[in-house]
């Protein structure tokens, strides 16, 4: 039977409560100040790959949308990450975090050292959005319902526990606190409006579940590679690589 709007929204929110990556042990280490500097660097390098692919998946999405109103509502997502004349954008802000943790931002932007499983997971997300129905594509972005809470926890945890954390290095997360809510309010309303049969509701819920897997798998890859007993796979970043050269003072 088709769920009511309220039942269906509650079902989507439950997926986040049960499966969102705020529950991953790597995030507990990171936010609790228990990561070594190299573990933080590995997270910054690998998470960059996700950041770099987000606007590509949004462009893939928009290329399939025939309704100009929907494209118009969506396009700020690309600008939020790539920037505009007035706003440097999320990718540039992420690279400031990279610098703050001692990495060479050009190395991070090169994509060298990304773990294989991170690539598989993130590339699967881009393909999913490119190939599935528009409803599934929008539903897969709804993990952002749960992101402001983790961003707030992260700002607090990193500021309390690590010397590199300051207003500049945290600017990516602070900015997302104002950007994400408008995107997700639109995305949620769109999914609730368009999932008007039980079959579509099931497909949207499966898409959101898939996306929680994309996020979880990235942290599993990090944990396995960089937390004892660390097992860095071939091609993965090796501590010491990609560091910013010490500047002569």
Ligand X SMILES: O=C(O)c1cc(C(=O)O)c2c(n1)C(=O)C(=O)c1cc(C(=O)O)[nH]c1-2
Residues that bind ligand X (CB under 6 A): 54, 141, 143-144, 147, 150-151, 176, 215
In whole angstroms, the minimum distance from the beta carbon of 155 to ligand X comes to: 11
Which residue has its beta carbon closest to ligand X? 143
- Which residue's CB is nearer to ligand X, number 28 or number 231? 28
In whole angstroms, the minimum distance from the beta carbon of 6 to ligand X comes to: 23
- Which residue's CB is nearer to ligand X, number 177 or number 238? 177
- Which residue's CB is nearer to ligand X, number 20 or number 107? 20
Tokens standing for residue 108: 């991070």
Distance CA 73, CA 83 (A): 16
In whole angstroms, the minimum distance from the beta carbon of 29 to ligand X comes to: 15
Q: What distance lies between CA 54 and its chain's CA centroid? A: 8
Give the torsion through C-alpha atoms of 41, 42, 44, 47, to 10 deg: 180
- Which residue's CB is nearer to ligand X, number 81 or number 200? 81
In whole angstroms, the minimum distance from the beta carbon of 159 to ligand X comes to: 15
Give exposure, 199-237, as e/b (b: 16+ Cβ within 10 Å): ebbebbbebbbbbbebbbbbbbbbbbbbbeeeeeeeebb
């Amino acid at each position: 039977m088709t769920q009511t709007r309220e039942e269906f929204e509650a079902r989507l929110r439950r997926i986040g409560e049960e499966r969102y990556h705020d529950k991953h042990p790597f995030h507990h280490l990171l936010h609790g100040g228990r990561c070594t500097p190299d573990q933080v660097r590995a997270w910054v390098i690998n998470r960059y790959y996700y950041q770099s692919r987000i606007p590509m998946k949004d462009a893939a999405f928009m290329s399939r949308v025939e309704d100009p109103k929907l494209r118009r509502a969506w396009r700020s997502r690309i600008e939020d990450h790539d920037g505009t004349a007035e706003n440097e954008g999320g990718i540039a802000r992420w690279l400031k975090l990279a610098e703050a943790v001692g990495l060479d931002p050009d190395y991070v932007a090169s994509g060298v050292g990304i773990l294989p499983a991170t690539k598989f997971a993130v590339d699967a997300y881009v393909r999913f959005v490119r190939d599935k129905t528009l409803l599934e594509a929008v539903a897969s972005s709804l993990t952002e319902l749960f992101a402001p809470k983790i961003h707030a926890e992260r700002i607090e945890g990193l500021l309390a526990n690590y010397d590199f954390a300051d207003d500049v290095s945290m600017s990516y997360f602070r900015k997302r606190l104002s950007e994400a809510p408008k995107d997700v309010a639109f995305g949620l309303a769109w999914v609730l409006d368009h999932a008007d049969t039980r079959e579509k509701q099931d497909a949207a819920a499966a898409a959101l579940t898939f996306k929680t897997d994309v996020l979880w798998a990235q942290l599993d890859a990090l944990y396995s590679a960089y937390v004892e007993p660390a097992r860095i796979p071939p091609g993965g970043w090796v501590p010491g690589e990609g560091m910013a050269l010490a500047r002569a003072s």
